[in-house]
Structure 1
Amino acid sequence: MQFNHYGGEAARLAADLVNLTAPPTPDELEPLLVARDISRPRLDAAEAAEIWLWSRRLARCFGPQDTARRCETVNALLADASSRPYISQHGGRAPHLHYSFPGAGPAAHIRAVTAAGLAYVVCFAAAERLGRCARVGCGLAYVDTSRNGRRAYCSVRCANNDAVARHREQRRSAGRAQPAGPG
């Protein structure tokens, strides 16, 4: 599955933010923002706190749910992060859309691009591609970029661990079901 910059990296950034387990410091957020190509990755403490609160709202978009409910949730994010999209050609690049106002602060920019990225996935890929890991005890958010859209785990490691756990449970269950031998 091919995503444009906003639908891919921005939606993945939303998943990365959802997967934070505690309020991040600006120093903890910066490498994450750089990895997802955010143009101004340096936040102050207040902006980092704002992004933490935003991430808790983004979390409602991931995992199994009714498409209408997911659309309602993404629409609320878009409304709260709204700015007027505009076409830019900065740096000699081809025309492309920006979703935050010129001069918007870094936190406003992150809110706008993550909301737009989730909307892009819901509208142009499938709402179900905003998933949660199926391995018991994990539950990390992910964006399913697989060709067939049937990903169930956040990583190959979780898929393998779950397969091994299922195999071991089947062996234990088969051992208990064996009739007692002559004795």
Structure 2
Amino acid sequence: MHFNHYGGEAARLAADLANLTEPPGPSELEPLLAAHGITRRVLTVGQAKEVWEWSRRLAACFGSQELDRRCQAVNALLADSSSRPCISLHDGSPHLHYSTADADAAAHMRAVTAAGLAYVVCFADAGRLGRCARQGCGLAFVDTSRNGRRTYCSVRCANNDAVARHRGRHRGEARPTTQNT
């Protein structure tokens, strides 16, 4: 499935932020924001703390849950993102920006990720905001597969889970022996 920049890439940024396991410093966030095409990515220590707090709220939007609950979580993010969408012509063609040019990096990131999650819920499928099914993983991901049935965050987790299931089925069974004749 193909998403536009604000839908897919912003939602994938939301997933990566939701997967943070400890508060990041500004220097740890800058490459992550750059990888997702965020141009305003220089953060202060205070803004990095804001991003960490926001990431905990983003985490609540991923995984199996009722549509109503997910929409409430995304709506709360939209309400608190202080987003003021505007049309920009900076590259010659009109397109929508979800924060104003004078917004700081943290405010811009909040607006973009909230809008990205809303885009996926409204225009793709809310179930595409998943959590990895491999026991012990649980990473958030955005399912961009064609059929929307992805259950693992990566091919590696899918393969590891398949191997674990295979070994579990064959545990305790006697191994066939070969006879030398």
TM range (shorter): over 0.9
Measure the CA separation in 1 of the matches of 2:171 and 2:165: 10
Moved over 6 A (4+): none
Partner of 2:94: 95
Instruction: Give me the whole-angstrom Cα distance separating, in 2, the residues matched to 1:14 and 1:130.
Output: 10
CA distance in structure 2 between the partners assigned to 1:157 and 1:133 by the alignment? 11
* Matched pairs, number: 174
User: 1:165-176 to 2 correspondence within 5 Å?
Assistant: 165-172=164-171, 175=173
SS in 1 for 2:96: strand
2:58 is aligned to 58
Structure 1 counterpart of 2:22: 22
Distance of 2:81 and 2:63 partners within structure 1: 22
CA contact (8 A) 2:7 2:119 kept: yes
TM-score, normalization: structure 2?
Answer: 0.94
Cα offset, 1:47, TM superposition: 0.5
CA distance in 2, matches of 1:83, 1:64: 27
- Once residues 78 and 106 of structure 2 are traced to their aligned partners in structure 1, the CA distance between those partners, rounded to angstroms, is 14
Structure 1 residue 130 corresponds to structure 2 residue 129: yes
Shift of 1:172: 1.0
Unaligned stretches of 5+ in structure 1? 177-183
Tell me by how many angstroms 1:146 deviates.
0.2
C-alpha distance in 2 between matches for 1:83 and 1:160? 40
Provide TM-score, normalisation by structure 1: 0.93
1:40 is displaced (CA, Å) by 1.1
Q: CA deviation at 1:97?
A: 0.4
Listed one character per residue, the Cα deviations across residues 107-132 of structure 1 (whole Å, up to 9, x for unaligned) are 00000000000000000000000000
Greater helix share, 1 or 2? Answer: 1
CA apart distance, 1:101: 2.0
Amino acid at match of 1:26: P
Q: Identify which range, 94-103 or 62-71, moves more after superposition.
A: 94-103
* Alignment-mate amino acid for residue 70 of structure 1: R
CA displacement, residues 127-178 of structure 1 (integer Å, 9 cap, x when unaligned): 00000000000000000000000000000000000000000000015x28xx
Deviations 1:44-84 (A, max 9, x none): 11000000000000000000000011001100000000322
- Report what 1:69 is aligned to: 69
